[in-house]
């Protein structure tokens, strides 16, 4: 490193500070520096941990139970099964749906679902700030909403089923993103108008990268409220919404 001049080093720092990507990390012979290699291993381990992470008992108590949000599980019974059989994470048992119908109000404009997805850590980190912004904002705009439902081992489509059962016009699924090597705590919000078992991916409008170094959770919440208003007005979401003009 000492062979690099002060200005060059400044420049390299400028470049590397502009992106979370692993640029200008140096090398030793054909290999990365030990420091850079360890950093990579750490980030990779964090990503793997996030994928394997589950919603903690503490979070379930303080977030779901304390607010009386129903806590349900998809058709999957373990985290390993969830990772290995993606379709199973998209559905919940009929019995669970019937139970939800008895404890949640139906026929609302919006149904919010919070799912662990591929990073339970993302949910634990961001939902506490994101959810109340959406709930407050919908209230201020006189948009009716059902009781939020928290799902363990849930994938994006699990929201369709729940919202369909509760006859909501729009579902918001706040779900942990597949972790990358720069952030393991990113959350996404999937907004789907008229959700049903027939819903396909292009029907969804998504706000991704909600995390500390992406869009702050509170700001994303306010933005999602604006998206909800637009989607309810235009009666369409996803690619079709983008095509409107």
In the complex, the residues that contact other proteins under the rule CB under 8 A are: 11, 14, 128-129, 132-133, 136-137, 140, 188, 206-209, 214-223, 225-227, 230, 234, 241-242, 244-245
CB of 109 to other proteins, least distance (A): 17
CB of 232 to other proteins, least distance (A): 12
d(CA 24, CA 67): 47
CB of 96 to other proteins, least distance (A): 29
Contacts for 171 with CB less than 8 Å, ≥ 6 apart: 110, 111, 112, 113, 159, 160, 162, 163, 190, 191, 192, 195
CB of 215 to other proteins, least distance (A): 4
C-beta closer to other proteins: residue 14 or 49 = 14
C-beta closer to other proteins: residue 152 or 211 = 211
C-beta closer to other proteins: residue 72 or 214 = 214
C-beta closer to other proteins: residue 54 or 219 = 219
CB of 112 to other proteins, least distance (A): 15
Edge-to-edge strands of the sheet including 187-193?
A: 71-73, 149-152, 110-115, 170-176, 187-193
CB of 210 to other proteins, least distance (A): 8
- Cα angle, residue 149 at apex, residues 147 and 151 outer, rounded to 5°: 180
Question: Greatest CA separation found in the chain?
Answer: 71
Cα→Cα distances 222→14, 64, 71, 131, 172, Å: 32, 22, 25, 10, 14
- Cα angle, residue 206 at apex, residues 178 and 83 outer, rounded to 5°: 25
C-beta closer to other proteins: residue 30 or 244 = 244
Closest by alpha carbon to 165, among 92, 85, 83, 66?
92
C-beta closer to other proteins: residue 18 or 30 = 18
């Amino acid at each position: 490193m000492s062979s690099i001049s002060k200005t060059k080093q400044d420049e390299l720092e400028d470049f590397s500070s502009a992106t979370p990507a692993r640029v200008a990390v140096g090398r030793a012979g054909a290999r990365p520096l030990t420091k850079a290699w360890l950093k990579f291993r750490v980030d990779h381990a964090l990503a793997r941990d996030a994928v394997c992470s589950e919603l903690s008992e503490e979070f379930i108590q303080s977030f779901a139970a304390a607010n009386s949000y129903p806590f349900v599980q998809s058709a999957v019974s373990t985290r390993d099964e969830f990772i290995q059989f993606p379709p199973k994470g998209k559905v919940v048992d009929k019995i669970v749906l019937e139970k939800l119908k008895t404890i949640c109000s139906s026929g609302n404009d919006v149904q919010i679902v919070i799912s662990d997805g591929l990073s339970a850590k993302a949910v634990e980190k961001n939902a506490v700030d994101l959810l109340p912004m959406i709930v407050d904002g919908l209230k201020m705009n006189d948009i009716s909403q059902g009781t939020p439902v928290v799902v363990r081992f849930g994938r994006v489509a699990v929201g369709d089923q729940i919202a369909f059962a509760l006859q909501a016009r729009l579902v918001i699924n706040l779900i942990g993103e597949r972790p990358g090597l720069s952030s393991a705590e990113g959350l996404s919000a999937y907004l789907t108008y008229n959700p049903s078992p027939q819903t396909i991916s292009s029907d969804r409008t998504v706000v991704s990268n909600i995390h500390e170094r992406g869009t702050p959770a509170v700001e994303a919440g306010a933005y999602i409220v604006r998206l909800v208003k637009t989607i309810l007005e235009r009666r369409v979401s996803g690619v079709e919404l983008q095509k409107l003009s």
